Structure 1
Amino acid sequence: MKSSFQSPGMPVTPPCHVGALVVSIVSHGHGAMVQKLIWTLARLNSGVIARVVLTLNLPEAEPARPAEGWPFALQVIINAQPAGFGTNHNRALAGAREPFVCVLNPDVELAGGDPFVALVRSASMPGTGCAYPGQLDAQGRFQDSERELPTPWVLLRRHVTGRRETKADWVNAACLVLPQPVWQTLGGFDEAYFMYCEDVDLCLRLRLVGLDLVRAPVQVVHAGQRASQRRWEHLRWHVQSLLHLWRSSVYRQACQLLRAQANGAGTIGRS
């Protein structure tokens, strides 16, 4: 995968709403969740979504087609072998022509209405690397989807004291909208991360080329529980990804940048 931190800027995508967005969803046997989510996307029918790419990473049935048909182009990719989170989204969004790309988790619920017009509008603002919604849990409480750089000290402090972060150095990838030229220039996710920390790395690379992470004035429900807290295999992947992150040049450069910007634009709450 390609990544470059020498360019002083990124291509600016002009504001565009109708047919502006391609959405990538990866299912790991999420059947019922995927069916509900894609039907919800179809019912929104705002014209913002031009295409949905659904990757079935494990064997499962394709979603049933609504009687009126899909209001967007639906592409289904069936993997012969399971691939990592970043690899699946990179494949789905390779060669995208739409002005904006969206990474969307199958366990996201859009009960509050269509967030994509606001997300595309926020992502089209000059200097924006990605736009994201506020995330609520099933009880309507704000989730900690915006995080500080995961240094060993920050992770220890969080585990021991339960203290929540006060800076948005990175955001999780449950729902991200990026200008397509930005996504292509960065090369998407770093596929060296099989699972976990690929969203940290992506956000840090955006910050390193001078682009902002912008919370759009919309909310979604993300009720998913971290699998790394339930399964040893996922915990192993999480630890491996953290070790890879801490050894990376991206992390070292980001530490220097974020220290210099400690009181700058990384404060949680910027919209």
Structure 2
Amino acid sequence: MSDELVVVTVTYSPGPHLNRFLASLSHATDRAVTVIMSDNGSTDGAPEEALERYPNVRLMRTGANLGYGTAVNRAVAESLKGDAAEAISDFFIVANPDVQWGPRSIDILLDAAARWPRAGALGPLIRDPDGTVYPSARHQPSLIRGGMHAVIGPLWRSNPWTAAYRQARLEPSEREVGWLSGSCLLLRRAAFEEIAGFDERYFMYMEDVDLGDRLGRAGWQNVYVPSAEILHDKGHTTGRDPARNLAAHHTSTYTFLADRYSHWSQAPLRWTIKAALAARAGLVVRNARRKQAKGRR
């Protein structure tokens, strides 16, 4: 295969973020790049403007808001159609349209992939807009560690379970982790195809945790590569309706945990998890709505 790299981004009225995403892409790699915008129903005209402005961009309309993972799967399948399919790389990028690329960030990820032949997913260091490092490389959420993070985290942010889960007290280093933020991933096609891509039951949230878990179970690695850096303005999506997004996060969390504790004998555990998540969701959603109401005054 050639060096041509496919970059998939899911658009849903991305606004000016999309232009910054595409404009900064030239800083990330010297390779030939094709960007597939998997559009979930944008109404702001940004994907159409990008299509006119950037010759290496393709627009694929999904026909509805199908969710993040489903839109990615559709775009990856689309990239394999036609005569050009034989010319694409063994890797592809999945990234949110509110990402801005750091210098050589994609090339650095590809160099790391050569050092980690069993890496199914590789992720960069992610900075928030204020320059702080986002904890994008984490352990899988075990029942105790993940449960304590979920229940105690909103009340005691510096608790040891959250710190351990997020690996927040570790210095950035290239290493294998449990999962990587889906806001920017270099994915090996063979690994992605082996596990049938993203689980399409997840509309939003936890699809990256699930992907990392299933890659690990299939014998692949999730590798954190902090020498590659991006900036992620994640508030552009969560800011639209934080209460709705928080509720969706808890729904996806239950789907993830119920899958991992699916035996009939674990039914009481699933009931407990569901009740705890419902209580937590009620608390954080109410808080989010109060903040929204204050912001409108």
CA contact (8 A) 1:25 1:55 kept: yes
Task: Give the drift of 1:123.
Answer: 2.5
State the match for 1:7 in structure 2.
Answer: none
Task: Give the drift of 1:37.
Answer: 1.1
Secondary structure, counterpart of 2:34 in structure 1: strand
Secondary structure, counterpart of 2:215 in structure 1: helix
Listed one character per residue, the Cα deviations across residues 70-107 of structure 1 (whole Å, up to 9, x for unaligned) are 3x4x2101232211100000000015343111110111
Task: Give the drift of 1:172.
Answer: 1.2
CA contact (8 A) 1:148 1:154 kept: no
State the match for 2:107 in structure 1.
Answer: 117
C-alpha distance in structure 1 between counterparts of 2:262 and 2:125, whole Å:
25
Q: Identical aligned pairs, as a percentage?
A: 26
Task: Please list, as runs of the form range in 1=range in 2, the aligned pairs for 1:167-246 lying within 5 A after superposition.
Answer: 168-216=177-225, 217-225=227-235, 227=238, 231-246=242-257
CA contact (8 A) 2:180 2:224 kept: no
Out of 35, 39, 43, the residue aligned to residue 19 of structure 2 is: 35
Q: Does 1:132 align with 2:123?
A: yes
Secondary structure, counterpart of 1:80 in structure 2: coil
Secondary structure, counterpart of 2:24 in structure 1: helix
CA contact (8 A) 1:169 1:203 kept: yes
For normalisation by structure 2, the TM-score amounts to 0.70
Mark the structure with the bigger radius of gyration.
2
Task: Give the drift of 1:237.
Answer: 1.2
C-alpha distance in structure 1 between counterparts of 2:218 and 2:239, whole Å:
31
Alpha-carbon distance change, 251 to 129 in structure 1, aligned in 2, over 3 angstroms: farther
CA contact (8 A) 1:18 1:47 kept: no
CA contact (8 A) 1:204 1:250 kept: no
| Bigger Cα displacement from structure 2, 194-203 vs 30-39 | 30-39
Larger relative CO (CA 8 A, sep 6+): 1 or 2? 1
Secondary structure, counterpart of 1:31 in structure 2: coil
| Bigger Cα displacement from structure 2, 149-158 vs 183-192 | 149-158
Secondary structure, counterpart of 1:86 in structure 2: helix
Alpha-carbon distance change, 64 to 238 in structure 1, aligned in 2, over 3 angstroms: closer
State the match for 2:49 in structure 1.
Answer: 63
CA contact (8 A) 1:135 1:219 kept: yes
Q: Does 1:81 align with 2:64?
A: yes
Alpha-carbon distance change, 139 to 231 in structure 1, aligned in 2, over 3 angstroms: closer
CA contact (8 A) 1:115 1:133 kept: yes
Alpha-carbon distance change, 17 to 133 in structure 1, aligned in 2, over 3 angstroms: farther
Task: Give the drift of 1:180.
Answer: 1.0
State the match for 1:18 in structure 2.
Answer: 3
The count of corresponding residues between Structure 1 and Structure 2 is: 231
Listed one character per residue, the Cα deviations across residues 32-90 of structure 1 (whole Å, up to 9, x for unaligned) are 1112211222x3384424321012212232134677x63x4x21012322111000000
CA contact (8 A) 2:9 2:72 kept: yes
CA contact (8 A) 1:107 1:224 kept: yes
Structure 1: unaligned runs, 5 residues or longer: 1-15, 253-271
Alpha-carbon distance change, 82 to 229 in structure 1, aligned in 2, over 3 angstroms: closer
Task: Give the drift of 1:229.
Answer: 9.8
Secondary structure, counterpart of 2:192 in structure 1: helix
For normalisation by structure 1, the TM-score amounts to 0.76
Q: Does 1:148 align with 2:175?
A: no
Structure 2: unaligned runs, 5 residues or longer: 169-176, 264-297
Alpha-carbon distance change, 33 to 250 in structure 1, aligned in 2, over 3 angstroms: farther
More helix by share: 2
C-alpha distance in structure 2 between counterparts of 1:208 and 1:78, whole Å:
32
